[in-house]
Structure 1
Amino acid sequence: MTRRPPRIAARALILEEDRLLLVNAYPGGTSDLWCAPGGGVEAGQSLPYNLAREVHEETGLTVTVGEPVLVNEFHDPASGFHQIEIFFRCQITGGTLAPGWTDPEGIVTERRFFSRSALDLGQVRFKPDSLIDAAWGSTLRYDPLEVIVR
């Protein structure tokens, strides 16, 4: 196995009416795993800039990026993949989750708001494990290295 440099990603925690926006980022919906919108950081652009771009591409929404609330790491021991994600609180400033929307990269297949109770009760499979605490909590959190799942 070849170890690669860690990939850095920015993710958005968007609460609306006490529901959290999540996306299914598996082409063709090949997994039932949900995550916060966002993605890999491009060199030479700030984390907030990258995040606002990724959220718009993945959801059609325009957001303002607030403070960071979670640093999460995950990896795949078999491939050597390692990702560090910084989660930021974000506010919607424009757009809607309109029907007929398509992710230009074809990765996100669904986007939906979920209640905390649906997440707490295990009705939705999501990552990272600390997502609920980060979304509804009030302090910066660190979620140590966990194994990636699909």
Structure 2
Amino acid sequence: MKDDRLLLVNAFQRKKSDLWCAPGGGANDHVSLVDNLIREIHEETGLTVTVGDPVMINEFHAPSNKYHQVDLFFRCTIVSGEIDNNWIDPEGIVTERRFFSRSEMDTIRFKPDSLAKAAWGDEIVYDPLELLMR
């Protein structure tokens, strides 16, 4: 969050989708969740953050192919950097990054469904068994 706006990324190569999500990604072996998140946010946005408390546990699943993923979301504070549209994600996955206000969240597609509730809420959100895509 910055100025009460949530940072989201479009993680679809060549803008194949208008779906937005929080920056983050996979965890490297023997590296803490916090250190993995700091690395992922920097790779995807160029920003340096400190990681605070957890705000959401989300389970994505796709019953048709037995897919089940558990995501943990943390409140982060930006300590350096600015959004730069020329920033290139080393993996080439993130194509856009920007901040959204709470009211703008009502006008975009994003996942997980409870992301806004977690971002602007005061309690930890648990979102069990959300379908991967609808």
- In the superposition, the TM-score normalised over structure 1's length comes to 0.86
Q: Hey, which of these two has a bigger chunk of strand by percent?
A: 1
Question: Equivalent residue for 2:14?
Answer: 28
Identity %: 62
Question: Equivalent residue for 1:60?
Answer: 46
- Alpha-carbon distance, 1:100 to partner: 1.2
- In the superposition, the TM-score normalised over structure 2's length comes to 0.96
For the aligned residue pairs, the C-alpha RMSD in angstroms reads: 1.1
- Alpha-carbon distance, 1:73 to partner: 0.5
SS at match of 2:99: strand
1-structure distance, mates of 2:11, 2:30 = 25
Q: How many residues align?
A: 134
1:129 maps to which of 95, 104, 113 = 113
1:39 maps to which of 11, 20, 25 = 25
Query: Structure 2: where are the runs of 5+ without partners?
Result: none
1-structure distance, mates of 2:64, 2:81 = 40
* AA aligned opposite 1:88: F
1-structure distance, mates of 2:44, 2:85 = 13
SS at match of 2:39: helix
- Deviation per CA, 1:23-81: give whole Å up to 9, x if none: 00111110110000001111211000000000000000000000001000001223322
1:101 maps to which of 84, 87, 90 = 87
2-structure distance, mates of 1:148, 1:99 = 28
Question: Equivalent residue for 1:79?
Answer: 65
2-structure distance, mates of 1:51, 1:65 = 8
* AA aligned opposite 1:130: S
Question: Equivalent residue for 1:141?
Answer: 125
- Alpha-carbon distance, 1:99 to partner: 2.9
2-structure distance, mates of 1:149, 1:58 = 22
* AA aligned opposite 2:78: I
**Residue pair 2:85, 2:97 contacting (<8 A) in 1 also:** no
**Residue pair 2:47, 2:80 contacting (<8 A) in 1 also:** yes
Query: Structure 1: where are the runs of 5+ without partners?
Result: 1-14
2-structure distance, mates of 1:125, 1:44 = 34
